[in-house]
Structure 1
Amino acid sequence: MRLRFASYNIHKAVGRDRKCDPERIMAVLREIDADVIVLQEADRRFGDRASVLPRALLDDYPWKAVDVARRPRSIGWHGNAILVRRECEVQDSEALHLPTLEPRGAANAVIAIEGRNIRIIGTHLDLSGLRRRDQVRALLEFVARTTEDCPTIIGGDFNQWGRFTGAMREFGDDWHAISPGPSYPSRGPIARLDRIVTSPSWLCHDAHVHHSPLASVASDHLPVYAELDLPEL
């Protein structure tokens, strides 16, 4: 099975031109055409935490939002949302709490693709760096506690500049950390903040930063994606 997995910090749909344009974000996602997408900053931070991508807008695209929201107008948890193709069957989903000095969390889902269950976790780690390692540990402990042993992908904005330093060390040798390339800031990317980390089951066929003319203005981050292979049992 080959899966295209993408991660995108959409900056509440506000682009470099300071315009809030959800349809532009969706157009970028159409360009990538991933099977599974984890989003960061998909909900507004204050008030009722409404999604910046209206559900009615999502109805016009080939993805559905996994139900991890705690508020009626949200599609995510602390801005973390998961989109999957409509034919994917969602077996389980939940919002995860992370140790934090600021509002942070993660979205977790188990989905069935081609008859196989896989776990997807989307997250946005601490900006200050004080709790990033604790947050990665919490995610790994959650995976270790789950009763279902299934191939896992963790994606998101790790806010970690070093490819193999800091919080990334917590993954050890068993997990495969994929840094497709510089993705921030979108105008002239220099930092590899957006990462994809996989359990040993996965093989990375290819990975890219999506740097199209539209993506360069739609958000302050560029999306990243990877083509992942899951060998037959």
Structure 2
Amino acid sequence: MKLRVASYNLHKCRGMTGPHAPERNLQVIAELNPDIIALQEVDFRLGARPEALPRAMIAEMTGLEPMQMRTTGETSLGWHGQAVLMKPELAEQAVMRRLPLPGIEPRGALALRIGGLTLIGVHLGLARSSRRQQLARLVAKASRLAGDAVMLMGDFNEWRGTRGLESLDPLHLLTPGPTYPAPMPRLPLDRIAVSAALRVTATGVGDSATARQASDHLPIWAEIELS
């Protein structure tokens, strides 16, 4: 199996300061042309947490569809602001589960199982102590899938090279490049971690003119092969 996967923090589709313009984020996703993309901050933060990325626009602009799951609220697209989009032919084969995470803030991860691959989309906490707890729990869950291909991907909220990411030692950590702040990226907040059973053939940052306006993060991508 060969796949192009990506991760993108949408910042509620409002760029650095506004306005709310989800068509820009969808254009960025279409430019990436992923088979699977893990998204963060797809919903507004307050109240009933309605979708910031309109479900009705996704298929038309990207050819992808959201994985079905129980969302935060009736009008939400995601759970804890996270969602996964996939090509329809892959969505038919995939199974997804939600993984509650510890920490000061309410956080969770989404684990997608397709074939021999477990892809976990993450949006870790703002406090380093919380991130350490969250990664420890995720790696412990991943270790139960010994021999399988496991991939963690998302907004790790950690700009240092390895500090705070010690729990990832059983996995191989990849940093495609600086992703934040999008107009002048300096910090590599978005990362990838993979198990030995997964071959990563290429990684990169989606650094287009539209991407620099559409969110406060740039997206990351990877091309992978299951051995």
Q: Tell me, yes or no, if structure 1 residue 127 matches structure 2 residue 123.
A: no
**1:121–1:154 Cα contact (<8 Å) kept:** yes
| 1:110 alignment partner AA | R
Counterpart of 1:71 (choices 67, 73, 83) is 73
Query: How many Å separate the matches in 2 of 1:119 and 1:194?
Result: 18
RMSD over aligned Cα atoms: 1.7
- After TM superposition, give the deviation of residue 130 of structure 1 in Å: 2.1
d(CA) in 2 for partners of 1:209 and 1:59?
23
Instruction: Return the alpha-carbon distance in structure 2 between the equivalents of residues 162 and 128 of structure 1.
Output: 13
Contact 2:116 2:226 survives alignment (8 Å): no
Whole-Å separation in 1 of the counterparts to 2:51 and 2:147: 32
**Aligned residue number for residue 84 of structure 1:** 86
Matched, 1:179 2:179: no
Give the Å deviation of 1:91: 3.6
Determine if the alignment matches structure 1 residue 210 to structure 2 residue 206: yes
Q: Tell me whether 193-202 or 52-61 shows the greater mean CA deviation.
A: 52-61
Counterparts of 1:95-106 in structure 2 under 5 Å?
95-106=98-109
Deviation at 1:138, TM superposition (A): 1.0
TM-score w.r.t. length of structure 1: 0.90
Residue of structure 2 in register with 1:110 after alignment: 113
Work out which of the residue numbers 186, 192, 198 in structure 2 matches 1:196. Answer: 192
Out of 163, 166, 169, the residue aligned to residue 169 of structure 1 is 166
Identity level (%): 38
Task: Mark the CA change 1:185 to 1:110 in structure 2 (over 3 Å): closer, same or farther.
Answer: same
**Unmatched tracts of structure 2, length 5 or more:** none
Shift of 1:158: 0.4
How far apart are 1:197 and its partner, in Å? 1.2
Structure 1 position 90, deviation (Å): 4.1
* Structure 1 residue 149, shift from structure 2 partner: 5.9
| Counterparts of 1:130 and 1:83, CA distance in 2 | 30
Residue matched to 1:151: 149
TM-score, with structure 2 as normaliser? 0.92
